[in-house]
Amino acid sequence: MTKNLLEDMVRTKRMRKEEAPEEIERPELRERFYLEENKKNRGSQYALWFVALVAVVFLFFAVSFVFSGAKVIVNPKAKDLAFSESLSAVKDSNTDNLSFDLVVISGEEKKTMQGGEEKDVSEKAQGAVLIYNAFSSSSQTLSVDTRLEGSNGKIYKTKTKIVVPGMTKNGIPGSVEVEIYAIEAGEEYNSDPLDFKIFGFKGTSKYDKFYARSKGKITGGLVGKFRQISDVEKTTAVNELKDVLQAKLSKKVIDQIPSGFVLFKDSTFLNIDDENVDYASADGIVSVDVKGTLYGFLFNERKLTKKIIETDTETYDVDDVFISNIKDLTFSLPAQAGLANKDAVSFTDVKNITFTLSGAPKIVWKVDTENLAGDLLGKQKKDFYQILSQYPNIKSADLSLKPAWKTSFPDKSKDIKIIVNYPE
């Protein structure tokens, strides 16, 4: 009896006063009341769990709807060719024939070195001038060592025999470039750009009609004792600077190539405009300076692609394909092209070239992703490969639908993502 009394006391304490009717005094009635209350509480808990489950399911379907879509990964049709052909191109052509544009960029590289043995030095200043003929339409021959009087009052001589062209019909003076040197050694002949008159024409009607202007500075004049570097050191330094200059200029050109054009690695040529090795100053440091101009043959990619695919037995539409590795083809100028000795070539005067192009061009078919996405809108998943069969430019494709149980494509094109694995 004592145990039952204690249990009743505990249960009574746990009950709130308003929840325990006064008429429930007998133990059997009190037990029944608590059982019924527990059933009610469990029923409420089950209802809450059910509501939570329904909410989770609803949220899952809502999120699935928001992130639903289709992703198609396409592998385009491609073909490798074995190619080695001699091609011809003309400069700045507006026709459908293969043409080229000439890119030109200049630069300079310098380095300093420690001078070696001290020697007596006697050097004459040198430079280059343009001589103009505004006298008549007839050309004028000037012999080697023709004397030119500079606007600084100094006399210089031409290094080679030249012929100055006559004026054009439009009255434009003819001109020719020639290298010059000072008649005496010394720094006083070094100068910024000068104007010149032909000394031998003084007192004649030609004196005012023939004139010259220097291209850049006149430099190199020097007399005295200076430390020098050996010929081997000079050659090594100059060659290193040439390599650095060519690499830098090539990168600049490549970075500026417009879309739709191709510049082959071997289609650029560096002409050295000036190699200058100064003699050591008081601290014994020698400065080596190389100036050069990079010339490159730039080709229209579409025209070049057309030339390449014409050599294959299969028929192509040039607007339907592209060559993914066209920049990797090997470009070379045969010796008979007249450009083998690039140092003796005036690239700006080149009007046409014949070159060899070789390699393994990869022809890749273009895929119209907009049309494909439009054809897939709202279609059943089972119809996917039938739709693909209407696209001969596609080799294969993989489909991914979200959520996974979806059996049809979205109704909006923005929900269909098409990725084409074009080879690089």
Q: Per-residue pLDDT tens for 373-386?
A: 999 999 999 999 99
Say what the pLDDT of residue 197 is: 97
Say what the pLDDT of residue 1 is: 43
Q: For 41-50, 385-394, 411-420, which range has the lowest pLDDT when averaged over its residues?
A: 41-50
Backbone angles phi, psi at 88, to 5 degrees: -120, 145
User: Degrees (nearest 5) of the Cα angle 114, 116, 118?
Assistant: 125
Other beta carbons within 10 Å of 378: 9
Say what the pLDDT of residue 16 is: 47
- Are 182 and 221 spatial neighbours (Cβ–Cβ below 8 Å)? yes
Q: For 2-6, 72-76, 302-306, which range has the lowest pLDDT when averaged over its residues?
A: 2-6
Q: What's the whole-number mean pLDDT along residues 408-413?
A: 91
Stretch (H or E) spanning 419: strand 416-420
Per-residue pLDDT tens digits for 62-74 = 444 445 789 999 9
- pLDDT at residue 5 above 50? no
Token output for 328: 């990797």
- pLDDT at residue 336 above 80? no
CA-CA-CA-CA torsion for 58, 63, 64, 67, nearest 10 degrees?
160
Integer distance in angstroms from the first to the last C-alpha of the chain? Answer: 93
- Are 322 and 420 spatial neighbours (Cβ–Cβ below 8 Å)? no
Q: For 168-182, 268-282, 399-413, which range has the lowest pLDDT when averaged over its residues?
A: 268-282
- pLDDT at residue 257 above 60? yes
Name the residue ranges covered by the structural domains of the chain: 2-64, 67-78+365-420, 83-108+228-359, 122-223
- pLDDT at residue 60 above 90? no
Q: Which residue has the higher pLDDT, 51 or 363?
A: 363
Q: What's the whole-number mean pLDDT along residues 286-291?
A: 88
Nearest CA among 221, 229, 222, 220 for reference residue 284: 229
Structure confidence at residue 118 as a pLDDT band (50, 70, 90): confident
- pLDDT at residue 144 above 70? yes
Residue 270, C-beta contacts closer than 8 angstroms, at least 6 positions apart: 242, 245, 246, 249, 292, 293, 294, 295, 342
Say what the pLDDT of residue 346 is: 73
Give the mean pLDDT of the chain: 84
Say what the pLDDT of residue 372 is: 95
Say what the pLDDT of residue 131 is: 97
Please, what's the b/e burial string for 178-197 (b: 16 or more CB within 10 A of its CB; e: otherwise)? bebbbeebbeebbbeebebb
- pLDDT at residue 282 above 60? no
Structure confidence at residue 112 as a pLDDT band (50, 70, 90): confident
- Are 182 and 234 spatial neighbours (Cβ–Cβ below 8 Å)? no
Q: Which residue has the higher pLDDT, 24 or 404?
A: 404
Say what the pLDDT of residue 9 is: 44
Structure confidence at residue 18 as a pLDDT band (50, 70, 90): very low
